[in-house]
Amino acid sequence: KRFNSDYLSSLRSLLNGVFTAEGSWSGQFYSRTSHRFTPKFSVGQNASYESIELFSLMWAVLGCVLVWCISRTKSSNFHIQLVSTNLQYIVTSLIPYFSLTYGDKYTAGAKLLRLAELKDLDTLSAKFETICLIYSLSPGGNSRFISLKEKLILCGVGEDKLDITQSKLSAMVESRNKKNKKLYPENIIPMNNLFIIGFFLGDGCLYIRIRDNNRGLAFIPKFEIKQKNTFSSEQLMKKICEFFLSNGIQASLTVNENYVLCVIEGMESVCHKLLPFIEKHHEFFFWKKHQLNMTNQFAKLISLDTRNLLPVKYLLIKTIYSIDNSRNYTLEHWINRINEIFKEKSAKNIS
C-alpha cells in the first residue's frame, strides 16, 4: 500500500533533491593518454537509521543494482554511498530517474547521454568534444591534476594535430561552452516542495537562533539550505528562493566567499508560512525529522509566551537544545541568563 504511484512519484521528487545536494555525476579516464571514459554515479550521506532507510528505498526503486559503499570519515562517523559505473544502467535508468534535478546535475546528465553517443567514435573532433564535455561535468572540472590543454595533447588532440596555442584553446573552449549552453539547457520543469525537502535533507538546517540583547532574549527561527559558491549553485539558490516567494514565503539569497544560501527567517516566515507548507510531508524528513519536530514544538511554546513567563522560557531553551547542533553556548548558560534577566526585572518592579 505504501508503494503506490503517488508515493513513488513523491519519493522520486525527494530523491532528486537529495541527489542535487549530495550526489555527483563524475568518472575516470581509462588512462592519461586515453579519451575513453568510465562514468560514475554516486550519492552519499552520513550513516544513521533514517539515512539507511531512505537509501534502501532508493536502492530498491532503482532495481537493486546500485552498489553500497561504506566508509569512515575523519571524525570516525560511518558514511554510506550508492554507486554505479555501469554505463548502460546509468543511461537507461539513472539519468531518466534523476531528470528532475537542476543546475549542474541536470546538464551533466544530458552531457553523459552525449558522451555515450561519442564513446565509439575515434575522430579528432569526437575526441575533442568528449574531453571538453568530461571536463565540464562539474564545477570542479577545471581544478584537475591534468589541465584541459595537457589532456588534449596527451590524447593526440594537441598542438601537433590542431595547432592549439593557449589563446586558441581558450577560444575553442569558450566556443564549446557557448554551444553547450544551447545543447544542454537548464531544466524547465517546475520545482515542488518535495524536491526542496530532499535538498534540505542533504544541505539544509532548521534551527532557532537566540539573540541576547538589553531587553532580554529574542528567539529567531531560521531555515537555510546552502551549497558551495559556484555560478551554477548561485543560479540554483536563486531558483529556490523564487520558488518560495511564488508560494508566499519570504526567502532571501545570501552569498559569501565560500557558500551561497537560501535563507528564511523569523516567526512569520518560518512558523506561520514555511512549516504549514512543508510539514504535510512529515514522513519524508527522515534524519531531519527531529529538526522539524523541534521547530513545531517551539512554535507552540512561543505562542504561550505572550505573558513572558519564566517556566515557558525554560521550556523554550530546553526545546531548542533537545537536538544536536553546533553551538557557541551551553544550555546552562542560557538558563542562567534567563534567571539573571528575570531577577533584574523583579528588582526594577520592586523599586
Angle subtended by helix axes 104-118 and 124-135, to nearest 10: 160
pLDDT attached to residue 202: 95
| Res 41: pLDDT | 96
Mean pLDDT per 10-residue run, the chain (351 residues)? Answer: 83 97 92 91 96 97 96 90 96 96 93 91 87 80 71 75 54 60 81 96 94 87 93 93 96 94 96 94 95 94 82 92 88 92 74 48
Predicted TM-score (pTM) above 0.85: yes
What secondary structure, in 3-state letters, does the chain show? CCCCHHHHHHHHHHHHHHHHHHEEEEEEECCCCCCCEEEEEEEEEECCHHHHHHHHHHHHHCCCCCEEEEEECCCCCEEEEEEECCHHHHHHHHHHHCCCCCCHHHHHHHHHHHHHHHCCCCCHHHHHHHHHHHHCCCHHHHCCCCCHHHHHHHCCCCHHHHCCCHHHHHHHHHHHHHHHHHHCCCCCCCCCHHHHHHHHHHHEEEEEEEEEECCEEEEEEEEEEEEECCHHHHHHHHHHHHHHHHCCCCCEEEECCCEEEEEEECHHHHHHHHHHHHHHHHHHHHHHHHHHHHHHHHHHHHCCHHHCCHHHHHHHHHHHCCCCCCCCCCHHHHHHHHHHHHHHHHHHHHC
